[in-house]
Amino acid sequence: MTAAQVRRRFRFVKTDDASENRMTPVGYLMTNFGQKWREPVIKRLNELVALQSGWDGYDGIAVTFENAYFAVGILDACCRGDDPTPQIVPGASGDLQIEWHLEKGDIELHIVAPNDVHAWHVDVNTGFEGEGMLLTNDFTAVVRWIKNLTEPTRATVPAAS
Amino acid sequence: MPLSPPPRDAHGKVMPHDHQGIGSADGIIRRISEQWIITEPDGRKRLSSIAFNPSSGPHGGMSVDLQAQIEEAGLNCREFLSTTSPQCAGSIRFEAGALRRASLQVGFDPLLSNAHHGEVWGNFTDSMKKRTLPGLATWFVEIEGVAISVRPRPLS
């Protein structure tokens, strides 16, 4: 798929770009094509920005365009092309959560607003309760977490004597 | 007996409170959207922790329905939930006393659209959302094949 094709598939377009002055999340350089996760993520985000008011049985609103854009920015910054597709779930206030649940652990990124992300992960190093942190525009920790969960476990090779 | 009016701020918004009229054994119902179902690596399904998240805003809490008030109004709670939110596939139930023992407040926040609406307020830490609240909940209207809690698994 070409970058132009990818851009055409990125449909939740908003004309007044409220995120213009925000900083781009820091992580991998954006490649903008070839990511296996991109198409299902865009499809899911398009569903979530179109949720009806009250979708949660209370006063829930749809995921905001700003949060959806920021979510894609985080994924562009953090994920390699063959990284697993995350699951995305909506919050009641226009927020959303990006989640990976893998054999080696879990990662959850709660996007409250652009540049306001509560990140949490659990793996063999964190213990059962996991570890949480607040992130704004630097997602290098998430890059590391994803790498830890997706890379094959390497057997320890004793040094040659 | 109808609940006394909740405390409100200068803007008329209900403030966090623990309502004395809500008994310890009263059911506190949380409606569950299918949007909150996620899949574990072994293919099993469960609720995302975001199902246990409070709303944002100055007095944001976790929206709930007050079972005793619904039933005292002569309504069947399951029918009330299904008619007022047909889009929600299921619901879970807490006991008010269990929420209070977890240092949460259980209050009354009537809405024009739902006179039996309540809120749960408190410190929604990671542990609260991912372990404590799912552990205190049982299905009220079950979504078949979906677990409420995280099943601990060995991490390698």
Q: What is the pLDDT of residues A129-149, one digit of tens each?
A: 899 999 999 999 999 999 999
A13 pLDDT more than 50: no
- The pLDDT of residue A104 is 92
CA A52, chain centre distance (Å)? 23
Contact B33 A55 (CB under 8 A): yes
Of the candidates A84, A101, A142, A30, which has an alpha carbon nearest to the alpha carbon of residue B37? Answer: A101
Contact B85 A108 (CB under 8 A): no
Separation in Å, CA of B143 to nearest CA in chain A: 15
Contact residues on chain A for B86, CB-CB shorter than 8 A: none
A17 pLDDT more than 60: no
Contact residues on chain B for A97, CB-CB shorter than 8 A: 48-50
Q: What is the percent of chain A with per-residue pLDDT over 70, rounded to a whole number?
A: 74
- Residue A134 to residues A39, A94, A108, B25, Cα–Cα distance (Å): 28, 18, 12, 36
**Nearest residue, CB atoms, B48 vs list A54, A97, A128:** A97
Q: Which residues pair with A101 in a beta bridge?
A: A106
CB of A132 less than 8 A from some CB of B = yes
A98-114 tens-digit pLDDT: 999 999 999 999 999 99
Tell me which of A89, A121, A129, A150 to substitute to probe the interface with B (most B C-beta atoms closer than 10 Å).
A89
Separation in Å, CA of A4 to nearest CA in chain B: 31
Torsion of the alpha carbons at B55, B140, B66 and B72, rounded to the nearest 10: 160
Contact residues on chain A for B39, CB-CB shorter than 8 A: 87, 101
Strand order in the sheet with B117-121: B105-108, B117-121, B62-66, B27-32, B90-95, B138-141
Sort strands B105-108 and A131-135 into parallel, antiparallel or unpaired: unpaired
Of the candidates A68, A65, A110, A90, which has an alpha carbon nearest to the alpha carbon of residue B33? Answer: A90
Contact residues on chain B for A103, CB-CB shorter than 8 A: 41, 156
Cα–Cα distance, A19 to A114 (Å, whole number): 8
B47, B33 contact by CB (below 8 A): no
Average pLDDT, chain A: 83
Average pLDDT of span B107-125: 96
A64 pLDDT more than 80: yes
**Nearest residue, CB atoms, B55 vs list A93, A97, A123:** A93
Average pLDDT of span A43-72: 96
The pair of three-digit structure tokens given for residue B39, joined into one six-digit string: 């899949």
CB pairs under 8 A between A and B: 87
Average pLDDT of span A84-106: 96
Contact A99 B88 (CB under 8 A): no
Contact B33 A129 (CB under 8 A): no
Contact residues on chain B for A95, CB-CB shorter than 8 A: 50, 53, 56
- B90 versus A125: the higher-pLDDT residue is B90
Contact B33 A102 (CB under 8 A): no
Tell me which of A56, A111, A120 to substitute to probe the interface with B (most B C-beta atoms closer than 10 Å).
A56
CA A94, chain centre distance (Å)? 15
